[in-house]
């Protein structure tokens, strides 16, 4: 049977490593037989909007019916929020589904998809799953090196994945940087700009992405309800891009890819600006708390504008992550995302952040962060 499966499944699929989700807090608590905190998956520690919870409860009563496959009301709400026609909006099971859809839309064997080493693994998984070649451009100072990407694009390039802020480094590039990048990238190349963590950024020159879509550029902007809105468990996100492209993507997405409960909760969450404000302010305070606490330990994290920090040491960080877990603190070891000497720590509540800092201090982690990513370009 194994030989038969190998003959049926293309090499470029069998060679993929699967996405590794963070360890569930319930599993850790069962193993430790004690309380644990999860600072591994960049979730909102304040939880969902109360308005979203009530809307979800009401929608649950109609779960015997299929949802609105077009997500009409949510797309209308997003259209109003972003001042762009609803035809320029597509819904997905989180932004991750749209990552996969965009690669399936434009790539085929012989084409090339591009991203950076040290970014979200689903980018290269989506590219390679199409049978296309993929190219990883090294980062500079833990940030997408946009000039290098534009300079080194193979002629076969049809798709570029970029995230701003980047996961797992928490860094960003400016809107001016992106404008210069667009000038150098051929217009036939689809650029997918993942802005999942956009709500946490407080920078005057962060992004003009939706304005660029309005002008007709071949750009697909990804957003999600998983972060500042606190709806990660409902799996709902969206893309904003050219209407013609989204019309084609709608042909291959699942007909009911977002549930009625998720749509109702997301629509209600859009109106709860107070919850988003509290989430962003809590994150800002927590980020400052972690940075100050780490500084006292002699540890410098990578400066972050998101809801997590990357701490890059000069030693294998996997044992440290394992020891933290024994202390009931779940963080994310980053070997699988290109940083074997790093952990990523999500911003939690004030008490959770303190618990992490206390556990880290007890373990006497060496205070020698690496100066740069130092990753070499890879291609396949």
CATH number of the domain enclosing 360: 3.90.1150.10
Alpha carbon 293 to its chain centroid, in Å, reads 26
Residues 59 and 194 in one domain: yes
Helix 273-296 vs helix 350-362: crossing angle, to nearest 10: 20
Please tell me whether residues 225 and 327 are part of one structural domain: no
Instruction: Note whether residue 22 is domain-resident.
Output: yes
- Tell me: do 284 and 354 sit in the same domain: yes
Residue entry with tokens 């001016």: 176
Q: Looking at the structure, tell me whether residues 238 and 348 fall in a common domain.
A: no
Q: Write the CATH number for 99.
A: 3.40.640.10
Residues 263 and 220 in one domain: yes
Q: Which of 299, 304, 347, 350 is nearest to 320 (CA)?
A: 299
Locate tokens 């430790």: which residue? Answer: 32
In the chain, the number of structural domains is 2
| Same domain flag for 18 and 62 | no
Residue 2 lies in a domain: no
CA–CA gap between residue 129 and residue 239 (Å, rounded) = 21
Cis ω for the linkage preceding 267 (within 30 of 0): no
Asked if the structure places residue 110 within a domain, the reply is yes
**Does residue 256 form part of some domain?**
yes
3-state secondary structure of 280: helix
Residues 6+ apart with CB under 8 A from 97: 237, 253, 257
Note whether 337 and 121 are within 8 A (CB): yes
Residue 38, domain member (yes or no):
yes
From 271, 301, 331, give the residue that closes a domain: 271
pLDDT tens, N- to C-terminus, the chain (380 residues): 666 767 787 787 777 777 677 667 676 666 665 688 999 999 999 999 999 999 999 999 999 999 999 999 999 999 999 999 999 999 999 999 999 999 999 999 999 999 999 999 999 999 999 999 999 999 999 999 999 999 999 999 999 999 999 999 999 999 999 999 999 999 999 999 999 999 999 999 999 999 999 999 999 999 999 999 999 999 999 999 999 999 999 999 999 999 999 999 999 999 999 999 999 999 999 999 999 999 999 999 999 999 999 999 989 999 999 999 999 999 999 998 889 999 999 999 999 999 999 999 999 644 444 544 444 433 34
Q: Are residues 134 and 38 in the same domain?
A: no
Looking at the structure, tell me whether residues 71 and 139 fall in a common domain: yes
pLDDT, residue 28, reads 62
* Domain end marker among 245, 271, 297: 271
> What DSSP string runs through 103-135?
HHHH--BTBEEEEETTS-HHHHHHHHTTT-EEE
- Are 186 and 173 found together in one domain? yes
Q: Among candidates 55, 130, 96, 66, which has minimal Cα distance to 224? A: 96
Give CA–CA dist 350/296, Å, rounded.
Answer: 17
- Tokens 């999860």 correspond to 38
DSSP result, 215-261: TT-SEEEEEESSSTT--GGG--EEEE--HHHHHHHHHHS-TT-S-HH
Contact 225, 17 (CB under 8 A): no
What distance lies between CA 205 and its chain's CA centroid? 21
Q: Are residues 12 and 43 in the same domain?
A: yes
For residue 239, being part of any structural domain is answered with yes
Angle of helix 50-60 relative to helix 273-296, nearest 10 degrees, comes to: 120
- 193 secondary structure, DSSP code: E
Residue 3 domain flag: no
- Residues 247, 88: Cα–Cα separation, whole Å: 9
Report phi then psi at 193, rounded to 5: -105, 110
Rounded distance between C-alpha atoms, residue 297 and residue 364, angstroms? 9
Question: The domain containing residue 349 runs over which residues?
Answer: 8-47+274-373
- 1 within some domain: no
Q: Answer with the one of 271, 303, 318 that is the final residue of a domain.
A: 271
Q: Are 98 and 240 in contact (CB under 8 A)?
A: no
DSSP, collapsed to helix, strand or coil, labels residue 156 as coil
Residues 94, 29: one domain? no
Inter-CA distances, 376 with 117, 181, 372, 373, Å = 8, 21, 12, 9
Same domain, 196 and 223: yes
């Amino acid at each position: 049977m194994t030989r038969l499966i190998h003959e049926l499944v293309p090499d470029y699929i069998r060679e993929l490593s699967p996405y590794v989700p963070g360890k569930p807090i319930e599993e850790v608590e069962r193993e430790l037989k004690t309380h644990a905190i999860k600072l591994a998956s960049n979730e909102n520690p304040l939880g969902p909007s109360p308005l979203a919870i009530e809307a979800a409860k009401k929608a649950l009563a109609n779960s015997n019916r299929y949802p609105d496959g077009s997500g009409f009301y949510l797309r209308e709400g997003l259209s109003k929020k972003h001042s762009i026609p609803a035809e320029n909006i597509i819904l997905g099971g989180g932004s991750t589904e749209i990552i996969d859809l965009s690669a399936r839309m434009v790539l085929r064997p012989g084409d090339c998809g591009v991203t950076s080493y040290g970014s979200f693994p689903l980018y290269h998984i989506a590219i390679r799953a199409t049978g296309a070649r993929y190219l990883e451009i090294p980062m500079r100072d833990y940030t997408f090196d946009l000039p290098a990407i534009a300079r080194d694009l193979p002629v076969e390039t049809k798709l570029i994945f970029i995230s701003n802020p980047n996961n797992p480094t928490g860094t960003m590039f400016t809107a001016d940087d992106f404008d210069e990048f667009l000038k150098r990238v051929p217009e036939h190349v689809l650029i997918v700009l993942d802005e999942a963590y956009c709500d946490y950024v407080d920078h005057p020159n962060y992004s003009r992405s939706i304005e660029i879509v309005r002008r007709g550029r071949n750009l697909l902007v990804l957003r999600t309800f998983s972060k500042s809105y606190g709806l990660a468990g409902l799996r709902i996100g969206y893309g904003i891009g050219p209407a013609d492209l989204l019309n084609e993507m709608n042909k291959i997405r699942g007909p009911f890819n977002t549930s009625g409960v998720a749509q109702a909760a997301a629509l209600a969450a859009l109106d709860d600006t107070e919850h988003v404000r509290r989430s962003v302010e809590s994150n800002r305070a927590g980020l400052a708390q972690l940075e100050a606490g780490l500084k006292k330990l002699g540890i410098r994290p990578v400066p972050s504008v998101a809801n997590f920090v990357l701490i890059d040491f000069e030693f294998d960080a996997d044992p440290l992550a394992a020891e933290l877990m024994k202390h009931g603190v779940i963080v994310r070891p980053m070997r699988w995302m290109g940083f074997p000497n790093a952990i990523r720590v999500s911003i939690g509540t004030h008490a959770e952040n303190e618990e992490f800092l206390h556990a880290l201090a007890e373990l006497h982690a060496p205070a020698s962060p690496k100066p740069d990513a130092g990753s070499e370009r890879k291609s396949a």
